[in-house]
Amino acid sequence: MTETLQHDTGRTGLGGASALFAIRLATGLVQGLALYLLYLAADSRVWPETQPVVFGALALAAGYVPVVVLAGVGRVKALALILWAAAAAGVLALLGAHDVARQVLKPHEEPPFLSFPVLAFGAAALFIAHHLIVPAIRERRWIVDYPDYFDIAWKAGVQLALSLGFTGAFWILLHLGAALFKMIGLGFLQHLLSEAWFAIPVTALVFATAVQLTDVRDGLIRGVRTVALMLLSWLLLVITVLVGGFLLALPFTGLDGLWETRSATALVLSAAAALIVLINTAYQDGRADNLPPVVLRYGVRAASVLIAPLIVLAAFGLALRIGQHGLTSDRIIAAACTLVGAVYGAGYLLAAVKPGGWMKPLERTNVAAAVLSVLVILALFSPLADPARLSVQDQVARLQRGMVSADTFDYDFLRFESGKAGEKALRRLAASTDPRIARNARAAQARPWPSGDTAQGRQERKAAIRLKAVDGQSVPTSFVDQLDAQVDVLFSCNAETPCVVRSLDLNGDGRTDLLVATAREIVAFDQDSQGQWRVTGRYGFTCGRNAERMNEGLSKGVATTPAALPDLVVEGQRLRASPEVRCDATEPR
């Protein structure tokens, strides 16, 4: 611990601080430029956006790995930091690639995309792994003394919170200044803040600056941490009384009310997590000269006993739901959290009842649970234990065993909620020898939206659509009446960004066609002989254009030009060309 403090304070001299500042600013700049280039690729639909798996890998790595560098520079040697950052980049890239690869990317969505769970759990795994690895590198031991883990991890947590707060405050002030200038007719700053080439790199630079500013004031950070831990530790008494009262009341109230919430497992696990965090704010580094007051020591013991019954309750509720309805992705993730919670529950219970050395088993429990958490997250968001694949296998097995009838089986889960694994299983069911299963599976394959997407839900989405005609034109009443058939195409047309609509005869047939500028493209509609509006074509944005500029451009006017390449007829089949678009100096941007 002494060596750690000497290392941190010894590097804050003028020369060291200047070098660290330069490295962190460079890291922030590289991250900002990388993220902006990825944004530009997605907006312009050029590589790597054209290969979603590659894009997902690059996006997750570019978003998180620079934070490893910001946190590790000055704390470990350069070579060790480079190797650790490279390893983290490789793992994150694999997680991002797998997350996108398992999804079904629909044309009307914003591909490529990373799911929220991989973003959240990936960040958690990286934070935990970083603060297991950095102390090990510095001490050249696999397992270091617990005070070292505590000091580095909690200090980094405070730095992260302050840095995020600083970045948020920076943007609040910029928008305030932009609003002031806007009041006097100067909108340049507001326009600048909306430009991605400015916003993304500046955000990364400001965050890197905040990390440096908090790092060079080491004593201040430790002081803030001490105050924060002291305040939070007293909240432990509150949650202990509440959870204790809840558990004591259960024998009298029964569990029916708990299960009726349909979120009992998540609530109980959240309570257990709150207890774990607050216990650690009171225990801190566990040194004999840093013991909390007597009342908090009793509170820590009582709270540690309460975690185990909460985990048992969560496991029981989860087992009931799985037994009744089978596995889903959410239930698999909940089961993984329950497994980690069981380690905490057993370890903290042992620490609370074991005599001698106040709560010492807690330290080994925290380290073991941290390692397990990282391993579980890596398994969940890789092919090893992909929740979508496992849940699809379980649901199909339940159908085949007769636990679910062919008519009540949730085919929409396979079609819309479980990615490629679900679509693959649905294709197998469509070829089933059971005629009811095959019929229902084929019906699900043909549906453009979930059957659970009720008429009310689609009406709400339809009501949210906003269209704006230009040049004195009006949106045809027949088109408005048929909007329910275009909900999935016009999903981005809302009150905040209404889509511009222009009427004209595109093909010279004497009938009115419509052009609608959506978030990703300009969509062409015409009416068939029965008066039904249908999509006849899509004009993709190129060369860095975005929806706002397309809306503005379509408002001013539109012209048509002859096709650059004619259609081909090969053996009676008409083939249409997809010309290459080159964004050179002659291409207007």
Classified by CATH at the fold level, domain 466-563 comes out as Nuclear Transport Factor 2; Chain: A, (3.10.450)
Which residues have C-beta within 8 Å of that of residue 199, sequence separation ≥ 6? 193
Q: What is the pTM of this model?
A: 0.79
The tokens 């840095």 sit on which residue? 163
pLDDT for the residue numbered 548? 59
Q: Distance (Å, rounded) from C-alpha 172 to C-alpha 194?
A: 13
Q: Give the tens place of pLDDT for each residue, 183-238.
A: 999 999 999 999 999 999 999 999 999 999 998 777 788 889 999 999 999 999 99
pLDDT for the residue numbered 4? 44
513 close to 526: Cβ distance less than 8 angstroms = yes
Instruction: Give the residue ranges of the chain where pLDDT is below 70.
Output: 1-15, 106-112, 451-458, 541-549, 578-589
Amino acid at 300: V
Domains of the chain, residue spans: 2-216, 222-380, 387-446, 466-563
Cβ of 179: how many Cβ atoms within 10 Å? 11
pLDDT for the residue numbered 387? 97
85 close to 69: Cβ distance less than 8 angstroms = yes
119 close to 100: Cβ distance less than 8 angstroms = no
pLDDT for the residue numbered 494? 84
